[in-house]
Amino acid sequence: MANPHLTHLLQLAGLPASAGGNVEITGSDLLLPTPYKFLAPGAACIAAASWAAAELWKLKTGRSQKVSLDTYAAAAALRSPRYLRIDGKKVAEDEAKVTGFYQLKDGRWIYLHCNFPNVRDGNLKALGVPMDKDAVTKAVAQRDGLELETAMFANGGCGGFIRSEAEWEQCAHQKSAAQIPLFEIVKIGDAPVQPLPKGDRPLSGIRMLDLTRVLAGPACAKSFAEHGADVMRITRKDLPDLGAPSDVDTGLGKLQAHIDMRDAAQAETMRGLVKDCDVFLQGYRPGALAARGLSPEALAQTRPGIIYVTLSAWGHEGPWKDKRGYDTVVQSFNGMAWRPDNARPQFLPGSPHDYVAGYVLAFATMVALHRRATIGGSWLVRTSLVGAGEWFRKLGRFAPAEYQNLTAEFPPEVMQRLLMDTDSPWGRVTHLAPAAQLSETPGRWARPPSPRGSHAAVWPAR
């Protein structure tokens, strides 16, 4: 029987539902203690990305292969950093951090996202307090939710008043988000057919520039590296990042280079990388890179045949399209963190907005590469965290009796087969192995995770 979620993805990409006949997804969708049905679509996105890699391999070689995925592996992949260990130890959290849920003046709740120093400082400025959890708690307790939410964004911060789903559905942006497709593949320029590079893996010789942070965009790039692409993550020395475990986990298989576009020589280096790349992946808010000459239209002129991939929190349309956002912030807005009777909010046992968006991008980008190799053209691929949430939010919920006795932990024997070790500059890293299995070209990462700026901004030879 065809998987309905995979069928949906194929049809959105303009492909026949029968195209996914070589994909097998096995196991239960009820593995995590949550009412939301995000595991089944999440597994379909992971399988779809691997299916698309297999299709590129078929285009290269004429040989088909099977794709298989177990839902335990999929569920783990949707919260991958949870399992990362360095030299056998879990990475300790910063005890001083002020990220979290706080009660407002009327007893309702708000979430403050303070994982990046600049965002944290914006939130603290809106509150008028130093970085002290007790001071933050007292200050939030004097404020109204929507007023404080607006003030945080106005000061360069980020967070979300905890809405119920009913309240979310009254928001103008929800109505906009509900109308936008989960993803789009749009032709943005003419270019000749460009055959796939030779090599022993589906994406051998494909070059991707990764200008994303946190989870969704980096997960897309990690998926490309899993299937043999040369992925170069571009950051800047002075930009804050999450560090371990997220950056270590999503850094598998990637080169890491620093480029500061404010410097003319380094900006020229970036243009040189673009001219020799195949995929440009960015996660800035819509239009943010246009001033740097890195808009989709500009790059389609600079590098005809480019696949320009863009991820945003809130989508490219609607009143909130320019807002900053992260998976947890979207959960705060769209009702998934809300709990009845004003109980303390709780996030989902995973990061499904991030990972659904990330694997959707990987799938759609590989479809765009297939188009470039068969009909030519430059292509824009886009999705959003809010769009991912709207997809699986509409699937309904499990009844409490179905999930209330489930645990967030998986049996040791399951984890033993899902994990692997890689030596890295940080030490021996224990992490999840590739989730989906390809029968001829099994996924693997050819490079260990490395600290930011570890490599020169130069493409390796094809």
Report CA torsion sign: 392, 74, 330, 154. negative
CB contact at 8 A, 15 and 367: yes
Report CA torsion sign: 64, 46, 275, 380. positive
Residue 164 has pLDDT above 80, yes or no: yes
User: Any bridge partners for residue 324, and if so which?
Assistant: none
Question: What are the domain boundaries of the chain?
Answer: 4-91+177-319+347-438, 100-175
Q: According to the model, what pLDDT value does residue 322 have?
A: 87
Distance between alpha carbon 71 and the CA centroid of its chain, in Å? Answer: 19
Task: Measure Cα distances from 119 to 8, 114, 130, 181 in Å.
Answer: 36, 6, 14, 29
**pLDDT band at residue 96 under the 50/70/90 scheme:** low
**pLDDT band at residue 10 under the 50/70/90 scheme:** very high
Higher-scoring residue by pLDDT: 144, 96: 144
Distance between alpha carbon 213 and the CA centroid of its chain, in Å? Answer: 9
- 428: enclosing H helix or E strand: strand 427-432
CB contact at 8 A, 111 and 162: yes
Beta strands 183-189 and 378-384: pairing type? antiparallel
Higher-scoring residue by pLDDT: 93, 259: 259
Task: Measure Cα distances from 145 to 103, 116, 305 in Å.
Answer: 9, 22, 47
Burial (CB count <10 Å: 0-12, 13-18, 19+), residue 320: buried
Stretch 411-426: mean pLDDT: 95
Q: For domain 100-175, give the CATH superfamily.
A: formyl-coa transferase, domain 3 (3.30.1540.10)
Stretch 363-370: mean pLDDT: 98
Stretch 215-238: mean pLDDT: 95
Distance CA 296, CA 381 (A): 10
Q: According to the model, what pLDDT value does residue 243 have?
A: 67
**pLDDT band at residue 284 under the 50/70/90 scheme:** confident
**pLDDT band at residue 244 under the 50/70/90 scheme:** low
The CATH architecture to which 4-91+177-319+347-438 belongs is 3-Layer(aba) Sandwich (3.40)
Residue % of the chain over a pLDDT of 70: 98
Distance CA 404, CA 407 (A): 8
Q: What is this structure's pTM? A: 0.95
Residue 78 has pLDDT above 70, yes or no: yes
Stretch 377-399: mean pLDDT: 95
Residue 14 has pLDDT above 90, yes or no: yes
Task: Measure Cα distances from 17 to 22, 48, 403, 439 in Å.
Answer: 11, 12, 31, 21
Q: According to the model, what pLDDT value does residue 290 have?
A: 73
Q: According to the model, what pLDDT value does residue 1 have?
A: 63
Distance CA 125, CA 195 (A): 52
Q: According to the model, what pLDDT value does residue 261 have?
A: 87
Burial (CB count <10 Å: 0-12, 13-18, 19+), residue 204: buried
Residue 95 has pLDDT above 70, yes or no: no
Burial (CB count <10 Å: 0-12, 13-18, 19+), residue 400: exposed
Question: Tens digit of pLDDT for each residue in 115-140?
Answer: 888 899 999 999 999 999 999 999 99
Cis peptide before 451 (omega within 30 of 0): no
